A and B are shown apart, each in its own frame.
Chain A
Amino acid sequence: MLKVVRLAVRNLTRYGRRTALTGALIVIGVVAVLLFVAVTGSFKTLMVGQITDSYLGSLQVHRRGYVASIDTLPLNLNMAPGMAAKVDEALKAMPEVQAASPRVKFAAMFSNFVETTSIRVNGVDPERETATEPLLAGRVRNAIKEGPLLEPGQILVPTLLAAGLKVKPGDTVVLVATNREGSVNGKTLVVRGTLESATGPGGRDGYIHMDDARELLRMTTPEVSEFAVRLGELSQVDAVIGRLEAAFADLRNPQGRPALEVHSWQQLSPFANIAKMIDLMTLFIKIVLVAIVLVSVMNVMVMAVYERVREIGTIAAIGTPPGRILALFLSEGLVLAVAATVVGVLISVAAVYALNRAGITYSFGQQSAIELVARLRVLDVATVAAMVVGIGVLATLQPAWKASRMDPIQALRHV
């Protein structure tokens, strides 16, 4: 096989300029795809990380109907203590679950004693919330003290709301909320810090301690609106949801339907559609690459066969088996595709390194100065390389087959 490959390399150098141009076209295609994948892939990973690690979690558990009415944050669809305890127990039993945070969510009026506005509030257990949303603490700005995310009597206020009402960390504010029975209650809280916005639902919520939330809502029993759940691997989401739904199967509502719903982050965040768009664009650019490789390699090999008809006739006449003639031309396509892929990958790696060294930043939604960290995964490189080499060989198949089936007499007569 090696001797066939060596001869193939020699043959490729026969029309050096044409080979170089075709190779350059493939190299450009490989670089374009790998850079696109590296940049959009890291953008997607970053955004998904921001969403899942700063407020949404990998998945969430609610009572049936809660997500459908989530705009009104219905307190009557909170989980009762018994149900919440069962959910907590089931989550703790799953090895894939790294952490889970129970939340009480409600709508409230936020007042600085002069002005009032509405706010969505999460009552959380600071320790469990931090474990479930490790990036949440990083969104806190100008905290009045170090330590846990929150202490009882404190509130984290969304930055935009704080700016609008001219509230600073350390200020005292009032939250007024209506509980499930319709009673209105208020509670004064100290602003611990402001909370930078994050893209998507829940990205502009305020946070208070779970005890304060239950006191404000006059809950006599520990109800829970939702559980945010963090998994070790995001790829496990679907499998874990299936197992959780099975574990909750015995919890039924009065209509006999499952009392709980489990939603993945994709179902809860509109960014999932952007992620799908990125995947779709990646697919399209890969299709373009396939077309480039297919057309350019096929063109160069069709020309190679056409220009070497007499030579093919000669080697066939002196006894070269048809299979070896096929292998010879296939090797030319293979060598061209492999060489161009190797060069393309090397340039891509260098370009990714240069991009990261340049420290390019961009804005997304309310977030600014997000640093672009392009990353080439081995799997992406392997996929693109296999695709280019495979298509390169495929594009060579027809001309190579034609060469191997050529009638030596006709070929020797060719002018």
Chain B
Amino acid sequence: MQVVQATQVEKTYQAGATAVHAVRAMDFTIEAGAFVAFVGPSGSGKTTLLNMIAGLDRPTGGRLDVLGVDVASLDRRRAAAFRGEHLGFIFQDFNLIPVLSAYENIEYPLLMVQEWPAAKRHEQVLKLLAAVGMADQANKRPDQLSGGQKQRVAVARALVANAKLVLADEPTANLDHDTAYNVLALMKKMRDELGTTFIFSTHDPKIMNEAERLFTLEDGRLAQTAGKALAHA
């Protein structure tokens, strides 16, 4: 099953009188269960592509289907509902809510986005806490956690609502090398256990090797693809 199908996808920004081509005529597909990395230098279009897949931004040309939905057709409210139901996010700066504990941060999507019943919610949060190895840190607030622990909580938050696709923009950029590998290993483990598709962006050559499929971007173009047969360019 194709999770993402991009057909001649383009994104052009207008910066004053200048048109900036962030993404140019990209074609690719990503299958379910893939562990994919968008790699490339800053300004190559990685984040823009992730934002469009997330329905946070709209292509200005071509067609981008995510989980069978043309994301350009979603208005603001339906895009939010789509993200809440199907997608998970991991951010470079973790972006945990500082007044909530690790448990509550993981619980947030189930409480404020999907409205799961309390008992089911509790069971799911405990399951994810255990899966990411944070069960003993459940009551700590983000300022009491290390960078790696925060990102583990963020991974659990991204997966707690049974997301089919997790998007991670530079998830290891603020972590030391060992921790970065550990977080990627955790993401891969969760993919193996839950079958969730992971797409992450990075410009770190060591980290990108952890991906099973690489999309190399240069100046908004898809320059190269490499890896196993889970992704097809």
Contacts and interface: CB of A to CB of B under 8 A. Distances in A.
Given A314-B91, A315-B112, A412-B91, 14 more contacts: A14-B99, A311-B97, A314-B95, A314-B97, A315-B97, A317-B89, A318-B87, A318-B89, A318-B157, A319-B81, A321-B84, A324-B112, A408-B56, A412-B95
B127 interface: no
B71 interface: no
The 4 A-B pairs with the shortest beta carbon distances in the complex, nearest first, are: A319-B84, A319-B83, A314-B95, A10-B99
Contacts of A10: 99-100
B212 interface: no
Given A319-B87, A322-B76, A409-B57, A14 B112 contact: no
Given A316-B80, A321-B81, A311 B87 contact: no
Contacts of B76: 322
A7 B108 CA distance: 10
B107 to A, nearest CB: 10
Contact of A322 (B77, B82, B85): B77
- Interface of A, secondary structure class, is helix
Interface string B69-103: 00000001100111111011101010101111000
A3 interface: yes
20 contacts: A4-B112, A13-B99, A14-B98, A311-B95, A311-B97, A314-B89, A314-B95, A315-B97, A315-B108, A315-B112, A317-B54, A318-B89, A318-B109, A318-B158, A319-B81, A319-B83, A319-B113, A321-B77, A321-B81, A409-B57
Interface string A1-15: 001100100110110
B3 interface: no
Contacts of B93: 310
Interface of B: 51, 54, 56-57, 76-77, 80-85, 87-89, 91, 93, 95, 97-100, 108-109, 111-113, 157-158
Contacts of B100: 7, 10
A7 B97 CA distance: 10
Contacts of A76: none
Contacts of A313: 95
Interface residues of A, number: 23
B91 A320 contact: no
B113 A409 contact: no
Given A13-B99, A315-B97, A409-B57, A320 B89 contact: no
Nearest to A311: B97
A13 B141 CA distance: 14
Given A7-B112, A314-B91, A412-B91, A320 B80 contact: yes
